Structure 1
Amino acid sequence: MQIQFMDGQKWKSISKERRIYYKPVAATRGNIFSDNGSILATSLPFYRVAFDPTVAKAETFNSGVDSLALLLSRFYGDKSADHYRRKIKNARHSDRRYIRLNSRQINYQDKKMMTRWPIFREGKGRGGVIFEKVEKRFKPFGLLADRTIGFINEDKYGAGLEYSFNSNLTGTDGEALFERIAGGSKPIYDGTDVKPQHGYDIKTTIDINLQDVAENALYKALERTKAEYGCVIMMEVKTGEIKAIANLGKTTGGYTEDYNYAVGNQGRTEPGSTFKLASMMALFEYAPQINLTDTIDTGDGRYRIKNTIMSDSHHGGFGKITVQQVFEKSSNIGVAKLMEANFSQNQRAYVDYLHKFGLSSTLGFQMDGEARPYMKNPQDKNWYGTSLTSMGIGYELKLSPLQTLAFYNAVANNGVKIQPIIVKEIRKADDVIQSFNTRILNEKICSDETLKKLKMMLEGVVENGTAKNIRSADYKVAGKTGTARKVKNGRYVREYSTSFAGYFPADNPKYSCIVIIDSPKGVNVYGGDVAAPVFKELADKAYARDLAMHKPMHARVVPDKESLPLVPAGSFDDLSVILNKMGISNHATAGVDEEWVKVEPQRRSLNFKANPVLQGQVPDVTGMTLRDALFILGNQHLEVRVEGSGKRVHRQSMAPGTEIDKDKTITITLS
């Protein structure tokens, strides 16, 4: 009795306090942009519709409830109008201050439409409608760069940029006052709510056009070869900015971005022959006297090392070939013999070079999950008598594709090894909060003389070697193929990880790129046949859209063409040489013995006529280049004023042949 009558108000107060609580209000997640500002991922608002049926005045409620119930039934299409009418009226009769009308989420346009409905049009305070905001992540380009963009779930588990930059993207939640009521909780708008601080945006280095080409080219190659997975990475040589990164794995429905093979542990494999570049770098650094023209006898393609037989891919072997050809043809025996001849007595030196090149260390990449390289050392228990030569050709060690590419990029970048980056800026609207610039990992990975040899070998692979099928007439490519046997149940099997790594244009590198195609099926399963064509397709696209990479193209004139170039006037000697080189027929009128000439078209040839320059007379400079005109007029002691713009003189203010008066100025107009 005492509790019921004497302490009743106390317990009512406590009960009320426990019904009122602060609930977090999620901040809007930041956007992810491409390099040109296109949105790769954003948060879009969706809503669940709830209702406090006790708020509206009786007149408003009674006159609008039937129409509201009908509209709800038509919109959701799940229950009858009578069902919604009973649900709303029963809640009002029971004094329930919160009901969720439907659990289905609606978009912003639907919300705007509903705010015009009966009762709802009165708003929260007088109508009782509650639009509970729920944000969904949206990717405007669909599955483009899906794994790179990544995800993060409610348990804070995720992958890709969404996970790696979650602390920047997520923002700071606010809080608002809510009341626990039957069926859920209801917000209380008392002015004490704390507004959330929305997340920062991140601007990536991804080029959506190159990304699209990379994914399509990779997808086609995987489907054609029935491979298990593949990846492509393309980045700018000087900046390390990743312009495309595609990852596709085999699923029951085809191929999808299921894992970041380019960066993570599942993509860390024995690189095979692409690692021969590192071995040759170590050889040239250790023994700079080795020349590309030195010869190695690779024999019949089979070579015994301890208790194992090493073989070359070419049946019958390559015989005696140069060091350059060892690399171009990707001769395992050739590389193994070079390794034995130089490092067999100092195997530690070879491994030390690999460490010096940074191949045993992670790159400190911006995205979480970078694989750690695996590399043996001579003091390890599993260092065998064949380990030196096996490592020399890319076995008994593991690298991720990104780590291999960073090494190739260093060669393209004249020995400067830089850290790849995929996020350029963290922004708040137009304000840059943090910038990520090029970071140098090694200012000089090897000597200039070594670099010169390596570049010649890499270009030779595409010009004469295992990747000559991707040679381009428009630009030079430098690179190396790789075909590494895979290990299953502790034994090497006849399944391969194929690859191509390189850069272009070889004479002034703009981009470096690596392609991995794992476990392709079919007859031709070498890196040059499977991975290199993907590189070529992406390189062609990049070259076509980047005019700065294009070399000036000289005009090709067919001698018998109908239309002749406009060459109105100039020096006889200069014009004659130019037209002859262009293959255009030209003739001088009989008796022409002048330095300066006029040119007249005559059928399919050009005819020269004398254009004499006489002392004391105004010369005819129309049709001449500005340089020639200034030269002639200056020699005639005329002051020259130039008007207009263009390459040739269109008209002159003083008539040709008139007598020259001292201190006269001639005006020439260009067009």
Structure 2
Amino acid sequence: MSPFVVMRKRIAFLFLCVSVFLVVLIVRLGFVQLSQGADLRKKADDSHFRGVPVAPKRGNIEDRQGNVLAMSVSSETVYAIPAEVRQSGRAKEMALTLSPLLGKTAAEIEAHITKRTALEYVQKRVKPEVAAQVRALALPGIGTTEDSQRYYPLGTLASHIIGFAGIDNQGLEGIELTRETALKGIPGSILQEFGANGIPLPQAEHQYLAPKQGNTVRLTIDKNIQSFAERELQKLMSGQGINMNGQAPKNASILVMDPSTGEMLALASAPSFDPNQYQQADQSTRRNIAIQNGYEPGSTFKIITLAAALEEKKIKPTEHFFDKGAYTVLGKNVRCWKAGGHGDQTFVQVAENSCNPGFIEMGQRLGMDAFYKYLRDFGFGQKTGIEMSGEALGILANKKKATALDLATMSIGQTNNVTPIQLLTAVSAVANGGTLMKPQLVKEIVGPSGRVVTPFKKEEIRRVISEDTSKLEREILESVVTNGTGRRSFLPGYRVAGKTGTAQKVANGGYIQGEYVASFVAFAPADKPRLAILAVIDGVPFYGGVVAAPVVQTVMLDSLRYLGVKPDTQAPLTPGKPMPGLEFPPIKKAATVPSVLGLPLAEAEKALTGAGFKAMTEGQGEMVLDQIPHGDAQVEAGSNVLIYLGKDASTPTLAHWWEDEDEDIEAINNFRGRVPISASPLGH
């Protein structure tokens, strides 16, 4: 082969290699430009553009009428760019200069401004005059930027619902936390161009990326109804509530719901706190007890027992039941609060009289399977789903291990543990026609432009009873207020349905002497309920009908008037005449019960009679082993005191369950020899 041909082949091969290389290069450049160009450009900008974040304004939290409950107010933040500070060599001088302005030590400031970070916040929430002084110093690498801080204009009002935001404007509790995504907005920034040495370029390009304000969260809460509830709580906590006689409870809560939609109109708990100074508040005051605390509901739970018995047609309202004063289950006597019982009565009168044996009969007729079905259907032993963190489940007795005695005590509101929000939600289902609703706290989310982003939608969980059953029970519960044990919540001209409850507190496997959880639940108007209200007062020596019913009565009346609900011309102006044997003497002044524990029967009766009380006895023997109410308890003067007798003081003390009403007490003697509740097999 001639040299010429060989040379041509080599040139052709070289040309082919160069061509392939160029094609690969062009393809690669095209790929980089078209596919990776944006990312690479961003990385390049990031390497020589440095941004100072500009915080967005956090969205407002408002009540259902648009009243502002939480807002953001402008403030400023002092920041440092440590690379510039180090480049200047003046870090110590700057720290000494800034120290008196920012109220920090020079060493602390120097540590901040020389950190190995791209940007460091030196001091947040700086006063405008201080920020102006910092800017006037023109220190290299030191600047200020616009910021905002959270402000709660109404102080403690609805604080457990709203929660609070931290120093970095992040939600920490309440709606501030659960709606963080909607409220926080999108940060902006101020970008400046820097050289590779970290020095700002002369006549460098500046970019301003505006922050996007957060959305407004509009609650279902009504500021005025919330104020009515918190006003009554303040009276209670100061000991100035009706019949409190200067004695303050440990805590209390008042919940107001629209039963037809599940919207919460008020959710108040005490003690409370000011979210503007949340760091200074005791952590216990920040606990939302209406959502997170459980308690044994007592007779307010009889509403559920009655609903189940009516729905399953286990009773008829006109059917008669004879109350002999106690109901025997597995050899244990569950007493009626009225000595000697109520005798012959219809089941309507059983409800009016809050008769324990009558409600136990309903539970026994239902049976364990049906009773537990309604427990679950009404939402007990499970979260309601309300938009609050830390909601408790409540505790239900383990069905597999429950006995007929457990069924008896559960029928009258004992043994099981519920939360206030669970009970109010369940009672609202009875009031609204039989549908369990999910309790709601957020009405809508509104964008910065005023457009509704997310509207409210009521959520029906399930139907638990029929319309007919709901209508019938509303009438019966209205009769409880008009003719029965709930008469202290009677409102002239309004049809009110309700039920009282008093529970002795459980602790360390037994019951606390002389300390109760008093409660009252009601809804009105009874025929077409607009409001359902529950008050739970923890740690008082009084009963639900004495302290809780007047609270609900006051909040109910103020709220109905505020909502423009006019009195019903057909509604009674005065309570009806009590059923035979059921009397309601006026509330008397409080009196202290003497302790007669360990005394012979004769001496105990003499001491009680001398103090103005009436002695009732239970058991056999000559020595007093226990008493209800316990010694030093504050009750109405002239009340009955039930004393338990035995042979000697070594006999095990009884655990008790109490129910109110007026000066009489439902003293249930059904725990003799029974395992304490804390040791009982419990399930969820």
164, 168, 171: which is aligned to 2:182?
168
2:262 pairs with 1:240: yes
2:217 pairs with 1:202: yes
267, 285, 304: which is aligned to 1:278?
304
The aligned residue for residue 137 of structure 1 is 150
Provide closer, same or farther for how the CA distance between residues 139 and 441 of structure 1 changes in structure 2, counting only shifts above 3 A: same
Q: Distance in 2 between matches of 1:372 and 1:77?
A: 47
Q: Which amino acid aligns with 1:141?
A: L
Check conservation: 2:517, 2:537, Cα contact below 8 A: yes
2:435 pairs with 1:416: yes
Gap runs ≥5 in structure 1? 1-16, 56-68, 88-97, 555-671
Shift of 1:410: 1.6
Shift of 1:232: 0.9
Q: Distance in 2 between matches of 1:387 and 1:149?
A: 39
Check conservation: 2:80, 2:122, Cα contact below 8 A: no
The aligned residue for residue 564 of structure 1 is none
Q: Among all aligned residue pairs of Structure 1 and Structure 2, give the percentage whose two residues are the same amino acid.
A: 30
Shift of 1:259: 1.2
Q: Which amino acid aligns with 1:322?
A: T
Q: Distance in 1 between matches of 2:165 and 2:331?
A: 51
Provide closer, same or farther for how the CA distance between residues 18 and 215 of structure 1 changes in structure 2, counting only shifts above 3 A: same
Q: Distance in 2 between matches of 1:359 and 1:118?
A: 59
The aligned residue for residue 605 of structure 1 is none
Check conservation: 2:156, 2:272, Cα contact below 8 A: no
1:510-549 per-position Cα deviation (integer Å, ceiling 9, x unaligned) = 111111111213xxx1111121111111111112223243
2:217 pairs with 1:191: no
Check conservation: 1:45, 1:107, Cα contact below 8 A: no
Check conservation: 1:411, 1:455, Cα contact below 8 A: yes
SS at match of 1:386: helix
1:76-99 per-position Cα deviation (integer Å, ceiling 9, x unaligned) = 7989xxx9xxx9xxxxxxxxxx99
Shift of 1:147: 1.1
What pairs with 1:232-381 in structure 2 (closer than 5 Å)?
232-249=254-271, 257-264=285-292, 267-288=293-314, 290-300=315-325, 302-340=326-364, 342-343=365-366, 346-379=367-400
Relative to the length of structure 2, the TM-score reads: 0.63
Q: Distance in 1 between matches of 2:222 and 2:70?
A: 14
The aligned residue for residue 30 of structure 1 is 59
Check conservation: 1:248, 1:258, Cα contact below 8 A: no
Pick 1 or 2: higher relative contact order, CA cutoff 8 A, min separation 6: 2
Q: Which amino acid aligns with 1:507?
A: D
Check conservation: 1:249, 1:255, Cα contact below 8 A: no
1:127-155 per-position Cα deviation (integer Å, ceiling 9, x unaligned) = 99843434221001011011110024469
Check conservation: 1:205, 1:424, Cα contact below 8 A: yes
Shift of 1:458: 0.9
1:288-340 per-position Cα deviation (integer Å, ceiling 9, x unaligned) = 5x22232322223x444225442233344333332122222222222113322
2:415 pairs with 1:401: no
What pairs with 1:29-178 in structure 2 (closer than 5 Å)?
29-48=58-77, 105-107=125-127, 110=129, 120=136, 130-153=143-166, 158-176=172-190
Shift of 1:176: 4.9
The aligned residue for residue 509 of structure 1 is 529
Check conservation: 1:312, 1:331, Cα contact below 8 A: yes
Superposed CA RMSD: 4.4
201, 223, 226: which is aligned to 2:238?
223
What pairs with 1:517-532 in structure 2 (closer than 5 Å)?
517-521=537-541, 525-532=542-549
SS at match of 2:290: coil
Q: Distance in 2 between matches of 1:205 and 1:118?
A: 44
431, 444, 447: which is aligned to 1:428?
447
1:424-464 per-position Cα deviation (integer Å, ceiling 9, x unaligned) = 1111120111112112222x421344223311221122112
Q: Distance in 2 between matches of 1:213 and 1:127?
A: 55
Q: Distance in 1 between matches of 2:331 and 2:416?
A: 20
Of 246-255 and 393-402, the range deviating more from structure 2: 246-255
Q: Distance in 1 between matches of 2:381 and 2:309?
A: 18
Of 490-499 and 20-29, the range deviating more from structure 2: 20-29
Provide closer, same or farther for how the CA distance between residues 238 and 347 of structure 1 changes in structure 2, counting only shifts above 3 A: closer
SS at match of 2:481: helix
Check conservation: 1:228, 1:250, Cα contact below 8 A: no
Check conservation: 1:375, 1:398, Cα contact below 8 A: yes
Check conservation: 2:493, 2:569, Cα contact below 8 A: no
Q: Which amino acid aligns with 2:361?
A: K
Q: Which amino acid aligns with 2:369?
A: R
Relative to the length of structure 1, the TM-score reads: 0.64
2:559 pairs with 1:542: yes
The aligned residue for residue 533 of structure 1 is 550
SS at match of 1:397: coil
SS at match of 1:519: strand
The aligned residue for residue 509 of structure 2 is 490
Provide closer, same or farther for how the CA distance between residues 99 and 392 of structure 1 changes in structure 2, counting only shifts above 3 A: closer
Gap runs ≥5 in structure 2? 1-45, 85-95, 110-117, 240-246, 274-279, 572-684
What pairs with 1:535-574 in structure 2 (closer than 5 Å)?
535-551=552-568
Q: Distance in 2 between matches of 1:518 and 1:119?
A: 55
How many correspondences in the alignment? 490
